[in-house]
Amino acid sequence: MAIKLLILADIDDLSWRGGRGRADALLALGDLADAVILQAAEAWQCPAVFAVRGNHDSEASFPEPVVDLHLRTAEFAGLRFGGLNGCWQYKPRGAFLYYQEEAEAFLENFPPVDIFISHNSPRRVHDREDEIHTGFTALNTYIERAAPRLLLHGHQHCECETQVGRTKVLGVYGWKVMEV
């Protein structure tokens, strides 16, 4: 059975401008105002909302009914979801900035999932050459070990798709709807 996903990442607006529809779940990949997530979930009638934080996000807890997937898993519609906040430590201070070694430790024993959501991309997959948009090597290691069907990320400001082993890595910028 296919499910329809509404996926959001890196939206600067403070209110939802993505229309209406119907989706089974919303996946928020970071750098989004909580209000945008909630408004999009309502506009698209999403019964499930899963999210991770990005490097420009508040450190506050997500509001209900958003499920924070940072280093957690959740089951929905027969699929297992998991996630990771943030990006690599490109500046001295800020929320959700991690050294490569920290990200490796976070994911060292993370269980296999069907769909993994992250703010950052795997290293050398959709990276930008600007010292800020560098992926996590931990995600490459996780893909090699756990082989999720799909890894969705934001941060790189690209609409990109790359097959890495058995995993489809999809970069999202703005919003998109897809079926899995």
Record the pTM. 0.96
pLDDT digits (tens, 9 = 90+) for 41-73: 999 999 999 999 999 999 999 999 999 999 999
pLDDT digits (tens, 9 = 90+) for 16-32: 999 999 999 999 999 99
Q: Which residues of 92-119 are buried (b: 16+ CB within 10 A; e: fewer)?
A: eeeebbbeeeebbebbeebeebbbbbbb
- Distance separating the N- and C-terminal Cα atoms of the chain: 8
Query: What number of H helices and E strands is found in the chain?
Result: 3, 13
Query: Are the beta carbons of 31 and 9 closer than 8 angstroms?
Result: yes
> What type of residue is 18?
G
Q: Residue 115 belongs to what domain range?
A: 4-179
Query: Are the beta carbons of 157 and 139 closer than 8 angstroms?
Result: no
From first to last of the 180 residues of the chain, give the pLDDT tens digit. Answer: 799 999 999 999 999 999 999 999 999 999 999 999 999 999 999 999 999 999 999 999 999 999 999 999 999 999 999 999 999 888 888 899 999 999 999 999 999 999 999 999 999 999 887 878 899 999 999 999 999 999 999 999 999 999 999 999 999 999 999 999
DSSP-based three-state secondary structure for 129: coil
pLDDT of residue 36: 98
pLDDT of residue 94: 85
The CATH number that applies at residue 94 is 3.60.21.10
Count: domains in the chain: 1
Angle (CA) 75-76-78 rounded to 5° is 90
**How far apart are alpha carbons 112 and 99 in whole angstroms?**
23
The DSSP secondary structure of 63-123, one letter per residue, reads: PTTPEE-BT-EEEETTEEEEEE--EE--SSS-TTEE-HHHHHHHHTTPPP-SEEEESSPBT
Angle (CA) 82-114-133 rounded to 5° is 55
